[in-house]
Amino acid sequence: MRVPRKFDREEGLLSLDFLIGFTIFLIALIFVGVMISGLLVHLQSRTIDYDAVAYRTSVVLVEDPGEPLDWHLKNMTYPAERNDVKRLGLGVDRNYPGILKLNKVNKFFTYSSPSECYGVDEFCNPEDYRKRLIFGDYPYRFNISMKYLSSTNTNPPPVGDPIPDKASVGFIKRIVKVQEPHSWYNFSVTQEPDLNKNQIIVRIDFGDLYGRISPYRIDPLYEKINITISGFGSLTNETNLTEVRICTYPLVGIPGCVVSDAYEDYPRVNVYINGTEQPSIPPPPQRLENITVVIDDGYFNRVGFDRFDAVDTILTFDKPMTNHSVYSYNYSTVYPLPKLVDAVIEVRVW
Amino acid sequence: MAGMNEDAQWIVMLGFIISIILIFLALIVNQSALIGKTTSESVLEFPKSEIQDARAEIMEYYWNGTLDQSDLEQYLYNITLERKGTIIWYDYNRAAGTLFIHYNDGSTEYNEMVRDL
Amino acid sequence: MVNDSGQLYTIEGLAAGILMLVTAYLVVSTTTVLTPQDVHINDMQLEQLGNDVLSMMDTPDQYGNPSSLTKMIQSTEPNIEEEFKDNFLYYANNATNIAGTGYDRLNLNATVTYLDQFNNMKTVTFYEQPYYREKAVKVTRWVYLPKFTPIPARFPGIVSTENQTVLLEVLLWRE
């Protein structure tokens, strides 16, 4: 039998307030135990994943048409247009990854150093590319290079910094095809013309041109249209050009007809007689050999046409020189048709 | 039991609890090393090229005008199921001009409805 | 009956326990846990490259022409497999040479899977090369075959009277 003493240390009895305190403590302990998984929220890897950035950059370059779709028509001389370009993607269409547009490629590789790039139509290397292609807070250094697999095309200069010697450079290589849009429409006037036809009408039906899928399409809204008319030297009666107009077909509604020298700045219609540009129509009297009409890329967009319209380019002369009522600009008359050439693009980030 | 010494039972118990907690923490930290997903794994896991390829093939038949007359659905379904363990099927409604494409490779599922065809 | 002897002792124990807990918490919360270094980078680069090459080989250069993959699979020439391998490796091994890296060293095996005229699935080797357990990546491409004659001998039973689609699988590795 135990003899009770005043301070009996062998009794396992607890006072009530101790119990309550301990219960609260235990509850707090269980809470902490449950919230342990929140400890792992700020786990980070020790190195920056350069390969991920390189891969993402290559996807934006090669598989994305960019934002806006016609960013290659913007003039970098004006800061407002420079800021309009949000994403530099070289693709021809969102549904055809890996096929690039030559105009976008050329514009992408036109750059100069930060001291010389403002006020000219060039990108600033590297700031413009960082903001519009690489993205992210960290100022990555990068190098993007491109080589055509056939030797007939000149390779663009690589953009970015020179590649360092260290081994941990993020790298990705992509194989692409570039669409070359160099189509021309050449025809010549008739030697024995009809007596009442003194207009040459070249009809471009946008709906017809848009009938082909993007990689093989001549896109009149965003590409240059070249028309060359030759054979004036063999006409029996000398003739002079009096007017060049661009009109909707059929001739109803807006925008109606626009004369070729309505705009002074790019994009506009350029008329060349015998290879020399004519600033105004009617041109000074001269002996005609050939006439070339070049409609800049983006001109039809500027005037307000869309892909469902048809457009007539009407050249009016003072004497008859043709017996065709309409010349059609379509895939069977234009040469050469758009074709694709192979290229390889490498993106390095460090 | 009369002589059992109950001194320090709380300290011992708490020490025991804390050891268990530390073991638990060590377990979680250990597991996280396996769970962390690197970017390359994520890129490899997402079947971007497969989906682009299947869409391109279906649209090729569409541009030829033979999408509803061909056995493409059978080819796509049987061959991918056998060789790659993925499901690809599509449903083309010529009258309504809609095309529904479905792709499932076990970890990624992709559904697309193309309208105005 | 219940007295408060031993309470200070117990509280001291509790405090020690809490101290240990807080220390453990602080220690764990300041470490960064390293996920394993990226062992899949090479695989990702190789797979993206392979997919790109097959996609570009399956794109005709001009409107209305068949793509080179279609022509090669339908061809009856005896050495078309060599031409396929040469074409594929020409695309895949090329580089921009900006870092002086030059030509890469990739190699491949290729098979074609198709449904024959009795709806059986057949897999036929298209190009074979000795493969010795290198780390390899498999890339695939659907190839559209329009109606064609004559039938190449390497694909017995292939349907040639209708348009069809076959699966070309390429196993790609770096030597």
Contacts with C, A 216-275, CB within 8 Å: 216
Q: Record the tokens describing residue A74, joined without a space.
A: 């913007």
Question: Is the minimum CB–CB distance between C10 and chain B shorter than 8 Å?
Answer: yes
In a domain, C136, yes or no: yes
Question: pLDDT value at position C57?
Answer: 94
**Mean pLDDT, range C66-90, rounded to an integer:** 91
Out of A33, A40, A95, whose CB is closest to B32?
Answer: A40
Among A36-45, A62-71, A147-156, C116-125, whose mean pLDDT is lowest? A36-45
Question: pLDDT value at position A150?
Answer: 87
In a domain, A105, yes or no: yes
More confident: C154 or A144: A144
What is chain A's Cα-based Rg?
34
CB-CB contact of A310 with A206 (8 Å): yes
User: In this prediction, does ipTM exceed 0.85?
Assistant: no
In the structure, what pLDDT confidence band is assigned to residue C49 with cuts at 50, 70 and 90?
A: very high
Question: pLDDT value at position A114?
Answer: 87
Q: Testing the interface with B: which of C40, C43, C46, C56 to mutate, by most B Cβ within 10 A?
A: C40
Residues A119, A66 within the same domain: yes
Among A102-116, C99-113, C115-129, whose mean pLDDT is lowest? C99-113
Of the segments A115-129, A243-257, B49-63, which one has the largest average pLDDT value? Answer: B49-63
- Does A95 sit within 8 Å of B40, measured CB to CB? no
Residues A175, A291 within the same domain: no
In a domain, A122, yes or no: yes
Pairwise CA distance, residues C115 & B74, whole Å: 9
Of the segments A42-51, A241-250, C63-72, which one has the largest average pLDDT value? Answer: C63-72
Phi/psi at A138 (nearest 5 deg)?
-75, 135
Q: Testing the interface with C: which of B75, B80, B88, B103 to mutate, by most C Cβ within 10 A?
A: B75
Share of chain A above pLDDT 90, in %: 21
CA distance to partner chain C, nearest, from residue A154 (Å): 12
In a domain, C25, yes or no: no
The pLDDT of residue A119 is above 60? yes
- Does A36 sit within 8 Å of B28, measured CB to CB? yes
The pLDDT of residue C38 is above 80? no
CA distance to partner chain A, nearest, from residue C5 (Å): 6
Pairwise CA distance, residues B69 & A70, whole Å: 38
The pLDDT of residue A242 is above 60? yes
Sign of the C-alpha dihedral computed for residues B33, B35, B36 and B38 taken in this order: positive
Residues A191, A243 within the same domain: yes
In a domain, C36, yes or no: no
**Mean pLDDT, range A53-67, rounded to an integer:** 92
CA distance to partner chain A, nearest, from residue B18 (Å): 10
Amino acid at A347: V
Q: Give the Å distances, CA to CA, from B31 to A41, A43, C36.
A: 14, 13, 12
Among B11-25, B32-46, C43-57, whose mean pLDDT is lowest? B32-46
In a domain, C35, yes or no: no
CB-CB contact of B22 with A31 (8 Å): no
Question: Is the minimum CB–CB distance between C13 and chain B shorter than 8 Å?
Answer: yes
In a domain, A29, yes or no: no
Question: Is the minimum CB–CB distance between C62 and chain A shorter than 8 Å?
Answer: yes
Question: pLDDT value at position A258?
Answer: 84
Residues A174, A296 within the same domain: no
Q: How many CB pairs under 8 A join A and C?
A: 115
Secondary structure of residue A344 in the 3-state scheme:
strand
Question: pLDDT value at position A223?
Answer: 87
- Give the chain B residue nearest C24 (alpha carbons): B22
Question: pLDDT value at position B31?
Answer: 62
DSSP secondary structure string, A95-134? TSTTEEEHHHHHHHT-EE-TTT-TTTTSEETTHHHIIIII
pLDDT digits (tens, 9 = 90+) for C135-154: 899 999 999 988 887 888 88
Q: List, in order, residues 6 or more apart from A340 with CB less than 8 Å away.
A: A99, A177, A178, A179, A180, A215, C59, C60, C61, C62
Strand order from edge to edge, sheet including A185-188 = A185-188, A225-230, A290-295, A269-273, A276-277
In the structure, what pLDDT confidence band is assigned to residue C78 with cuts at 50, 70 and 90?
A: confident
The pLDDT of residue C163 is above 90? no
Among A163-177, B51-65, C13-27, whose mean pLDDT is lowest? C13-27
Question: pLDDT value at position C118?
Answer: 86
Specify the number of domains making up chain C: 1
Question: pLDDT value at position C34?
Answer: 55
pLDDT digits (tens, 9 = 90+) for B87-104: 999 999 888 989 999 999
Q: Testing the interface with A: which of B52, B57, B58, B99 to mutate, by most A Cβ within 10 A?
A: B52
Question: pLDDT value at position C69?
Answer: 92
Among A320-324, B62-66, C144-148, whose mean pLDDT is lowest? A320-324
* Structural domain harbouring A314: 185-329
CA distance to partner chain C, nearest, from residue A157 (Å): 10
Q: List, in order, residues 6 or more apart from A321 with CB less than 8 Å away.
A: A189, A190, A193, A197, A198, A200, A232, A235, A239
CA distance to partner chain B, nearest, from residue A235 (Å): 46
The candidate with the shortest Cα–Cα distance to C110, out of C132, C133, C88, C93, is: C88
Residues A241, A271 within the same domain: yes
pLDDT digits (tens, 9 = 90+) for A252-283: 766 678 888 888 888 888 888 888 888 777 78
In a domain, A321, yes or no: yes
**What pTM did the predictor assign?**
0.79
Q: Record the tokens describing residue A296, joined without a space.
A: 């800049």
Contacts with A, C 78-117, CB within 8 Å: 90-92, 94-99
* Structural domain harbouring C77: 60-174
Question: pLDDT value at position A44?
Answer: 57
Q: Decide: residue A232, CB within 10 A, 0-12 exposed, 13-18 middle, 19+ buried.
A: buried
The pLDDT of residue A10 is above 60? no
In the structure, what pLDDT confidence band is assigned to residue A43 with cuts at 50, 70 and 90?
A: low
In a domain, C85, yes or no: yes
The candidate with the shortest Cα–Cα distance to C60, out of A333, B82, A212, is: A212
Residues A214, A116 within the same domain: no
Specify the number of domains making up chain A: 2
Give chain C's mean pLDDT. 85
- Does A46 sit within 8 Å of C34, measured CB to CB? yes
Question: pLDDT value at position C98?
Answer: 76
**Mean pLDDT, range A98-126, rounded to an integer:** 89
In a domain, C44, yes or no: no
Question: pLDDT value at position C1?
Answer: 61
